[in-house]
Amino acid sequence: METWVRTREIVTMENGTKLAKFSLATTESYKNAKGEKVDDTQWHNIVAWGKTAEIVENYLTKGKQVAVEGKLTHRSYETKEGDKRYITEVRCNELLMLGK
C-alpha cells in the first residue's frame, strides 16, 4: 500500500499552538476475479497538533510519502448556510517520513 500527501494547511492558534490539516491518499493494488490489476485509491483527512503540526509545516509537501499513526475521529459542523456536515478525520499522533 502506498501513501501520498495531496494538500496541507497550517494554522497558528491564538495561544501559539500549531494545527496542521492535510489530505493523504492510500492506494492498494490487487487482482480482481479476472486476474486484472486494480488500483483502489482512498483519500483521508489528517489533523495534527503541536510538535507534529510543526513537522508537517517544515517538512511535508505535496507528493511526499508518509506513514501516519493516529485515532479515527468523527465530528460535525454547520456551514455558513446552516447546513450540517459530517467529517471523518485521523488525529495524527505519529508521523514518519518515507522515501527520499
Q: DSSP 3-state assignment of 35?
A: coil
Query: What is residue 99's predicted lDDT score, i.e. its pLDDT?
Result: 77
Question: Could you give the domains of the chain?
Answer: 2-30+37-97 (2.40.50.140)
**What's this model's pTM, rounded to 2 decimal places?**
0.80
Query: What is residue 3's predicted lDDT score, i.e. its pLDDT?
Result: 62
CA–CA gap between residue 17 and residue 26 (Å, rounded): 28
Name 30's bridge partners. 38
**Average pLDDT per 10 consecutive residues for the chain, totaling 100 residues:** 74 96 92 94 94 93 90 95 96 88
Query: What is residue 23's predicted lDDT score, i.e. its pLDDT?
Result: 92
CA–CA gap between residue 58 and residue 50 (Å, rounded): 13
56 phi-psi bin (left φ>0, alpha ψ -120 to 50, beta other): alpha
